[in-house]
Amino acid sequence: MQQVAQLPQISPLTLAELQAGYLQQATALWNASLGQAEAPALGDRRFAAPEWRSSPATHFMTQLYLLNGRTLQQMAAAVEADDKTKARIRFAVQQFVDAVSPSNYLALNPEAQKLALDSQGETLTRGLQQLWGDLQRGHVSQTDESAFEVGKNVATTAGHVVYENDLFQLIEYAPLTAQVKARPLLMVPPCINKYYILDLQPDNSLIRYAVAEGNRVFVVSWRNPDESVKHLGWDDYVEQGAIQAVRVAQDISGQAQINTLGFCVGGTLLATGLAVLAARGEQAAASLTLLTTLLDFEDNGVLDIFVDEASVRLREATIGPDAPKGPQLLHGQELATTFSFLRPNDLVWNYVVGNYLKGEAPPPFDLLYWNGDSTNLPGPMYCWYLRHTYLQNELKAPGRLTVCGEKLDLTLIEAPVYIYGSREDHIVPWHAAYRSTQLMKGKKRFVLGASGHIAGVINPPPKPGKPPKRSHWIGKGAALPADADAWLAGATEHAGSWWPDWSAWLASHAGAAKAAPKAPGSRKFKAIEPAPGRYVKVKA
């Protein structure tokens, strides 16, 4: 007889306790609204304006919403089910609780109502205009997009495109020092975003910082895929992307080994490419830096809830290489929306309230401009990535996968590795980034930074006279235990940016100094156009 799967449930005892607690708190709120007890503080920045406390009815409604939200979250946490099912229930409940907040609706938002009355409806007019503009753009504006232009006030570090193919342009940056280190640095950013997260403004540009530290820097600028390349797969991104970028950097610099850096998915692609080369008998990297990168996909936080066999099969059937209509593009706005809803109050509802209900134009912010500059992906590449990493976690298993005709084994990479994770990263949890220390066989250094996936990485040293921002943790000695928390327990917190620590580590693998090149590229690879190049300017 076929066994029926048990549905998620809450034990009767736990449910009774939650009900009793809810009734007790709801009664206290009702008594407070009648003036029989002191009303508790709201304690939520969505309701910080005095208008939320000016009316007893509004105050009661808001307190009741917060109580309902807490209770629903407690019920989600009490569900008896497997870990992935519980995580999905918690995520769905959180999405619902955030969506039904009274702050999101004009009829329930006294702050927005007062602004409309005081401005004689002007805030509502501006809000409708901004809503119409966002409908035309296809996304909720998080910043004043008219304030930025790629190549004008973001992605401005001087350089030239010295190579291009159907997948990427390779940018070589102009030296800022009279001498440069012999071994160049190749940076491979994620292909699911534009590369200029590494080059937003001169003061927070990791690219400019690396150039100013005396490195000859090459950066991959991925093409924003269109219909002509929708058939490309993971092997193409490895062979014609990461490996080809290594080849060109080697050729231009005349160095058999180069320093390499991969960020997020760029790190996954780069490590895969270096392992392919190692299988072919070539150790192309003098060093490897991995920034918030996943190689072991055992437990990856909130993104795990989106991936199971059924969801991957659906993707394969609609955009994969064998889809009935042939391979298709995964459109960038879909990915951008998914990532925004990982933090809906900060990246969605905050702007719905500000833009539309209050009529406030979002201020210019370079990072959020980059965040909204989405990119497409070829369906076959995306489907391979989902199945073999997030779903089946095969990248870490030596010999399990064949990539570019080679049995893949990350342990064949002999280069020393600098591994960075961000402590509050919700896309690549730092424990997951730390697991790379147990995979790579070269000499390793792990550094943990404060903040999240982007803000933790883009954390430059302060200007003279300015206090340092955030902090980072460095372990004592070379010990890298299997348990990430054990490492953290023995680590020391340091104020400020982790960039100087990385730069010093990189310098030890960069070779002797020599005169900086007078012109970009080489006889074989001549300059094509000034940085940032054409590819990065193409919109999804």
Task: Give per-residue pLDDT as tens, 468-508.
Answer: 889 999 998 788 999 999 999 999 999 999 999 999 999 99
Cβ(109)–Cβ(102) under 8 Å? yes
Q: Are strands 329-330 and 377-378 parallel, antiparallel or unpaired?
A: antiparallel
Distance of CA 424 to the CA centre of its chain: 11
For residue 36, is pLDDT > 80?
Answer: no
Q: What is the pLDDT of residue 232?
A: 97
For residue 4, is pLDDT > 50?
Answer: no
| Percent of the chain whose pLDDT exceeds 90 | 82
Q: What is the pLDDT of residue 5?
A: 54
Distance of CA 12 to the CA centre of its chain: 40
Find the mean pLDDT for residues 238-265.
Answer: 98
Handedness of CA 68, 69, 71, 72 (dihedral sign): positive
Find the mean pLDDT for residues 421-447.
Answer: 96
Using alpha carbons only, what angle is made at residue 460 by residues 141 and 373, rounded to the nearest 5 degrees? 25
Q: Which amino acid is at 92?
A: A
Mean residue pLDDT of the chain comes to 93
* pLDDT tens per residue across span 350-378: 999 999 999 999 999 999 999 889 999 99
For residue 464, say if its preceding peptide bond is cis, omega within 30 degrees of 0. Answer: no
Residues serving a catalytic function are: 264
Comparing CA positions, the residue from 370, 351, 362 lying closest to residue 204 is 370
Q: What is the pLDDT of residue 6?
A: 66
Find the mean pLDDT for residues 166-173.
Answer: 98
Q: What is the pLDDT of residue 37?
A: 56
Using alpha carbons only, what angle is made at residue 453 by residues 408 and 377, rounded to the nearest 5 degrees? 55
Domain boundaries, the chain: 12-118, 159-301+376-537
Buried b (16+ CB within 10 A) or exposed e, 150-161: beeebbbbebbb
For residue 416, say if its preceding peptide bond is cis, omega within 30 degrees of 0. Answer: no
How far apart are alpha carbons 220 and 186 in whole angstroms?
A: 8
Q: What is the pLDDT of residue 334?
A: 87
Which of helix, strand or coil describes residue 275? helix
Confidence of residue 39 (pLDDT cuts 50, 70, 90): low
Q: Which CATH fold would you assign to the domain 159-301+376-537? A: Rossmann fold (3.40.50)
Length of the chain: 540
- Cα-Cα-Cα-Cα torsion 389, 392, 393, 396, nearest 10 degrees, comes to -110
Query: Is the pTM value of this prediction over 0.85?
Result: yes
Cross-strand partners of 377? 330
* pLDDT tens per residue across span 379-400: 999 999 999 999 999 999 999 9
How far apart are alpha carbons 494 and 459 in whole angstroms?
A: 13
Q: What is the pLDDT of residue 333?
A: 85
Residue 232: exposed, middle, or buried by beta-carbon count in 10 A (0-12, 13-18, 19+)? buried
Q: What is the pLDDT of residue 266?
A: 98
Cβ(304)–Cβ(84) under 8 Å? yes
Find the mean pLDDT for residues 274-302.
Answer: 95
Handedness of CA 331, 336, 337, 338 (dihedral sign): positive
Q: What is the pLDDT of residue 59?
A: 87
Q: Highest mean pLDDT range out of 61-65, 415-419, 463-467?
A: 415-419
Confidence of residue 1 (pLDDT cuts 50, 70, 90): very low
